[in-house]
Amino acid sequence: MDAHTRPVRACHLIHDLGPGGAEHVLVDLASVATGAGLDMSVVSMMPLGDLRYPRMLTAAGVEVRSLDLRAWWDPRGPRRLAGMIGGLSLDVLHSHLKHADVIAGRVSRRVGVPHVSTLHVIEDRATGLALRKRDFAARSRIESAARTIAVSDAVRTWYLATYPERPERVVTIHNGVPEPRRFDDVERSAVRSELGVPPDRVMALMAAVVRAGKGHDVLLRAAEQVPEVVFVIAGDGPEMASVRRLADRLPPGRVVLPGFREDVPRLLAAADLVVHPALFDALPTTLIHAFAAGVPAVASDVGGIPEIVTSGTGVLVAPGDAAALASAIRDLAGDADVRRWMGKAARERYEEEFSGTRWAGRLIDLYRAVSG
């Protein structure tokens, strides 16, 4: 078996495996890795504990290890990682998020393995200590990474405008998601019943970590103007108490807050449309999952979102504009035919650009290019 037919061996280093967008990206990749020819392992800097994602990765056939560090900046990280991967015959060491970038950068040359980093966020709002950490990680990445992957053109543009990196070393590879399971009408009705959504009402779903900048407050202000729609807001996070207060201002049954859910594909199967009113976002995977399920979107025209939601697949509105958001939701909720053909176009967009197999194939091509 030659270098172009054998599986590519890549170890992914990430700060931890708690719930989060970058963390779930690894779970999605694991589900398509073997079929695409990727021999994938994952190292968490922090202890695994009883977290769900390590179990999901293991179930997908991915070996998961931990450096068992006390903190993300624990100085023992490089030594422990070098000892862990030194004899694994890796093709690539792939780091995710700045803490992992620094450790991978220090270890890659020591063990003779090319380093690839993925930028998952646009950190243009960092100040103080966060800014110093961001800049420190960028310097490390520029010195060590054979390639830096931006998850969207928006991320790439920001990064190249902020740091003196050579453009040819920064490439855009959109994340993908695995093919979702198909749900029939009986299952769809059961999910809506479980959520308390009447069968004759339009259901709009938002699934995101409940934190500042995701636009939950904008959505709830818009919801006040669209009484004909039931809004299901799935997720949890530091702003949950504020979201509950805003939701309580609306009549009973208008807003459903099911909390953190791992079964987002089930919720998508029951939804008529997806709403993503973020004030900033690099490439929200929720929208890619929605398109895989054939569900149209109303989303903010910001960051990498327009690289997902293109003409005919949904509606883009200005970030923070509750009135515009309400108008777009109302128009889409009121026309089932438009939702149907937009959903079909969204599914086609997923197949063309965001399928899990296409995504894994692009990563493998990059790994082979940097490993020679």
Q: What is the pLDDT of residue 19?
A: 82
Is the domain of 169 the same as that of 47? yes
* Alpha carbons 337 and 343: distance in angstroms, whole number: 10
pLDDT value of position 270 = 95
Name the one residue in this structure whose structure tokens are 């894994």. Answer: 360
Do 26 and 168 lie in a common domain?
yes
Helix, strand, or coil (residue 57): helix
Using alpha carbons, list the distances in angstroms from residue 169 to 96, 104, 112, 253.
16, 17, 19, 51
Nearest to 299 by CA among 277, 320, 321, 280: 277
- The amino acid at residue 132 is R
Do 121 and 31 lie in one domain? The reply is yes
CB contact set of 313 (below 8 Å; sequence gap of 6+): 291, 296, 297, 342, 345, 346, 349
Residue 195 sits in the same domain as residue 109: no
Q: Please tell me the predicted confidence (pLDDT) of residue 1.
A: 43
CA distances from 343 to 78, 186, 200, 292, 294 (A): 47, 20, 19, 9, 4
In this structure, the answer to whether residues 142 and 161 fall within a common structural domain is yes
Give the number of C-alpha atoms closer than 13 A to the C-alpha of residue 114, restricted to the C-beta side. Answer: 16
Q: Tell me whether residue 2 is in a domain.
A: no
- Amino acid identity, position 53: Y
Give the per-residue pLDDT at 3: 53
Domain assignment present for residue 1? The answer is: no
**How many domains are contained in the chain?**
2
Q: Which residues contact 67 (CB under 8 A, 6 or more apart)?
A: 43, 44, 45, 46, 74, 76, 77, 80, 81, 84
- My answer on whether 216 and 292 are in the same domain is yes
Predicted local confidence at residue 20, as pLDDT = 82
Q: Are residues 32 and 158 in the same domain?
A: yes
153 pLDDT above the threshold of 50: yes
Residues 79-98 have a mean pLDDT of 94
Domain hosting residue 96, numbered range = 8-178+355-371
* 288 and 215 within one domain: yes
CATH number of the domain bearing residue 170:
3.40.50.2000
CB neighbours of 16 closer than 8 A, spacing ≥ 6? Answer: 23, 44, 45, 46, 51, 72
Instruction: Render 228-258 in DSSP notation, one character per residue.
Output: TEEEEEE--STTHHHHHHHHTTSPTTSEEEE
> Minimal CA–CA distance to 14: which of 109, 128, 102?
102
Query: Domain check: are 15 and 104 in the same one?
Result: yes
Would residue 78 count as lying in a domain?
yes
Question: 178-226: per-residue pLDDT in tens?
Answer: 999 999 999 999 999 999 999 999 999 999 989 999 999 999 999 999 9
Lowest mean pLDDT segment, chosen from 71-80, 153-162, 299-308: 71-80
Query: Is 277 part of a structural domain of the chain?
Result: yes
Per-residue pLDDT tens digits for 8-45: 999 999 999 998 889 999 999 999 999 999 999 999 99
Residues 102 and 49 in one domain: yes
CA of residue 131 relative to chain centroid, distance: 23
125 part of a folded domain: yes
| Burial group, residue 252, by CB count within 10 angstroms (0-12, 13-18, 19+) | exposed
Using CA atoms, how far apart are residues 275 and 266, in angstroms rounded to an integer?
16
If asked whether residues 94 and 112 sit together in one domain, one would say yes
268: in domain = yes
- Indicate whether 80 belongs to any domain: yes
pLDDT in tens, 308-334: 999 899 999 999 999 999 999 999 999
How confident is the model at residue 86, as a pLDDT? 86
- pLDDT of 4 > 80? The answer is no
Q: Is residue 67 part of a domain?
A: yes
The H-or-E segment that residue 363 falls in is helix 356-371
Q: What is the pLDDT of residues 126-141, one digit of tens each?
A: 999 999 999 999 999 9
Q: Does residue 363 share a domain with residue 347? A: no
